[in-house]
Amino acid sequence: MKKIFIAIVLLCSLIAKAQTDSLSIGTHRLISDISVNFNYTLEYQSGFYNTATIGDIDNNGVRDLIVGAPFERYKKGNLYTVLLNADLTVKSVNKLIDSSLQTQIDFDDRFGAGIINIGDINKDGFDDIACGANNDDDSLSNAGALYILFLNNKAEVIDYSKISVKQGLSGLNTNAFLGSHQSIQLLGDVNNDGINDIIASVYKENGNGKLLVICLNEEGKVKNQITIDDDKLGFSMVTGYDYGISIANLGDINKDGVQDLAISTKSDNNYGVIYTLLMNSDWTVKSSTKITKDSGGFTGDIGLDNNFGMSVINAGDLNNDGITDIIANSFDDKGGENIGSAWILYLNENGTVKSHNKISGKHFSEVETEDYFGYYIKNLGDLNNDGKIEYSFATLYGDGKVDNNGGFYLTNLNELKSISGSVYAGSTLTKELELDLYLFEGNDSIKVETITTNEGAFMFDYIVQGDYKIVAKPDTNVYIGYYETISSEINLGKDYINNLEIKLTTVRTSYTELENEITVFPIPSSNYITIKNNLSGIELNDIKVINLIGIQSNVEINKEGLDFRLDISNLETGVYFININSLNKYIKFIKE
């Protein structure tokens, strides 16, 4: 009994340190030119990894993708449309070619480097695309350019507009690299003219970088430009640190009615830094938080020169606390040289990190050293209407073979039980203990992580669901227990063993009650949602609907007594949140 009690004490001391938020990779699909039905062979190191949604082209109930390959055709660049099946496998692939557009693109322009869906700009009923060509030389060497591509129902380019120093933009110099990888983001309609606007970073501009808020007209041309430089950012910029190598629209995380941002720099202090920027309505920065190793609430081991945050995205509200969370990459060497990883950062309202966990490329059997898993990450929304958000985790060179042509993983994030725990071999460990974690695959097992401890406590990275075994070395019998963070159960291993088998399964949750006083139904719904309310004092202006990136959606809301009825029939399919402002509550729902 004494031995068990000591083990539990060790566990409880560890629990205080463990993350309460536990999300990791669910089912995943590698999309590359080895995929079934991928009817093209990509060029060597094509850069096939930058993705955006383009609507349901073939009307099979699944949103399809457009993917850039900026290093093809002597770095002129290419775009591919990837049509998906319901299980997110490839249905077909086509090149997106427009002869008049191709005449505008020169060698080394890198068309397709950055790409986002910007909604229906020209009001023809079909989504349009903003596509970067970061080495475009339109009057200035490598100043870069953006192309607004107007698409039809077959995702064919029917018209386009070019945005560059010569065509609508001001204040850029040589080597600004407008349109790079993850430097373009949708802002929504910031000037209330009914047309979506975008923000772009030019991270090499004047050696520091700056941000451009670009308001568009229906022709995809620049209506207005707002520049956010070091005078507005509110912190000192160091020359050469590439501020804005990646940018994310966080929505309104501090609930002041203004959209907030995250930007990153890959060079700062040799680790990489993410800045969360709480904005004022005039696009100056109200306050900022620097997130890096041992700063801003982040304590993850990111390592020197791992370029933490070179890709950073709005991941939606992953832990249902009403605050946007983010996912950021790191080159990471723990599973192999530059194998790559991603960090999920759960944010507080002030932009600091509440908690975090890690997704490593080593858990994907196709990922190898020097693949740079997570080099580019994208929130794609719910592609196949299963109520789960799909994310794209790209590899710079990984394609499932040796050609290094590039590819990306489509996956969702599952709420999982994760392994934390303790070992016990007497009152104290007399020597450092090595623990191997094995994942069973059929009758075989693969070692996915090794850690060492001399403190009697351990924590593995957050991992995929499956059957595992923990083996302690050297081969001396020790007492092993583990703690499952979701179920809050302490599970003790057999008395004095040197291995422990564990089965981790998904935990499915649904949010239908708020403090037993508010009920929302039906979820999911295609037309109407009712908020059944037993509280007085909640008014129509307390209720709003926001999407996954924090932008308010237009829905008709009627009050019937204390209850509310929301007409969501005009929303696109996907995941949304009902914000009850007076209660500071958020309720997730799915529009079918």
367-414 tens-digit pLDDT: 777 777 888 999 999 999 888 899 999 887 765 555 677 889 898 886
Do 499 and 527 reside in the same domain of the chain? no
Domain of residue 436, residue span: 417-504
Do 440 and 495 reside in the same domain of the chain? yes
Do 562 and 499 reside in the same domain of the chain? no
**Contact status, residue 401 vs residue 369, Cβ threshold 8 Å:** no
Question: 487 falls in which pLDDT band (50, 70, 90)?
Answer: very low
Interval 132-146 mean pLDDT: 91
Q: What is the pLDDT, as a whole number, of residue 100?
A: 73
Please return the burial class of 220, using the count of CB atoms within 10 Å of its CB with bins 0-12, 13-18 and 19+. Answer: buried
Q: Give the least confident one: 286-300, 439-453, 576-590.
A: 439-453
- Here the tokens at position 185 are 């983001």
Letter string b/e over residues 374-384, b meaning 16 or more CB atoms within 10 A of that residue's CB: bbbbbbbbbbb
Kindly report, residue by residue over 144-157, the tens digit of the pLDDT. 999 999 999 989 99
Q: How far is CA 405 from CA 18, 418, 589, in A?
A: 39, 34, 38
- On the question of pLDDT at 418 being above 50, the answer is no
Q: Taking Cα atoms as reference points, which of 268, 316, 214, 296 lies closest to residue 547?
A: 316
Kindly report, residue by residue over 193-218, the tens digit of the pLDDT. 999 999 999 988 877 889 999 999 99
In three state form, how does the secondary structure of 496-552 look? Answer: CECEEEEEECECCCCCCEECCCEEEECCCECCEEEEEECCCCCCHHHEEEECCCCCE
Residue 552 lies in a domain: yes
Interval 56-70 mean pLDDT: 95
Kindly report, residue by residue over 344-356, the tens digit of the pLDDT. 999 999 999 998 8
CATH code of the domain containing 569: 2.60.40.10
Domain boundary among 457, 481, 504: 504
Which is more confident, 191 or 508? Answer: 191
Please return the burial class of 294, using the count of CB atoms within 10 Å of its CB with bins 0-12, 13-18 and 19+. Answer: exposed
| Length of the chain measured in residues | 592
The tally of domains found in the chain comes to 2
- On the question of pLDDT at 480 being above 90, the answer is no
Domain boundary among 485, 504, 523: 504
Residue 88 lies in a domain: no
Across the chain, mean pLDDT equals 79
What residues does 156 pair with on adjacent strands?
A: none
Q: What are phi and psi of 10, to 5 degrees?
A: -60, -40
Do 464 and 529 reside in the same domain of the chain? no
Do 577 and 519 reside in the same domain of the chain? yes
Q: What is the pLDDT, as a whole number, of residue 433?
A: 66
CA distance 581 to 429: 52
Count helices and strands in the chain by DSSP H and E runs = 4, 41
Which is more confident, 566 or 439? Answer: 566
Do 457 and 529 reside in the same domain of the chain? no
Q: What is the pLDDT, as a whole number, of residue 509?
A: 26
Do 495 and 536 reside in the same domain of the chain? no
Question: 336 falls in which pLDDT band (50, 70, 90)?
Answer: low
Do 429 and 448 reside in the same domain of the chain? yes
Domain boundary among 504, 533, 550: 504
Q: What is the pLDDT, as a whole number, of residue 504?
A: 44
Amino acid at 100: S
- Here the tokens at position 365 are 């059997």
CA Rg value for the chain: 25
**Contact status, residue 339 vs residue 333, Cβ threshold 8 Å:** yes
Do 528 and 494 reside in the same domain of the chain? no
CA distance 24 to 4: 30
Helix (H) or strand (E) holding 6: helix 2-15
Kindly report, residue by residue over 41-52, the tens digit of the pLDDT. 888 888 898 999
Do 497 and 520 reside in the same domain of the chain? no
Q: Whole-prediction pTM value?
A: 0.71
**Contact status, residue 200 vs residue 183, Cβ threshold 8 Å:** yes
Residue 490 lies in a domain: yes
CATH code of the domain containing 437: 2.60.60
Residue 172 lies in a domain: no
Which is more confident, 447 or 575? Answer: 575
**Tokens 């790559």, located at residue:** 340
Of 18-22, 347-351, 543-547, 574-578, highest mean pLDDT: 347-351
Do 424 and 494 reside in the same domain of the chain? yes
Do 499 and 422 reside in the same domain of the chain? yes
Which is more confident, 492 or 122? Answer: 122
In three state form, how does the secondary structure of 62-113 look? Answer: CCCEEEEECCHHHHCCEEEEEEECCCCCEEEEEECCCHHHHCCCCCCCCEEE
What is the share, in percent, of the chain residues with pLDDT greater than 70? Answer: 73
Which is more confident, 586 or 122? Answer: 122
Residue 465 lies in a domain: yes
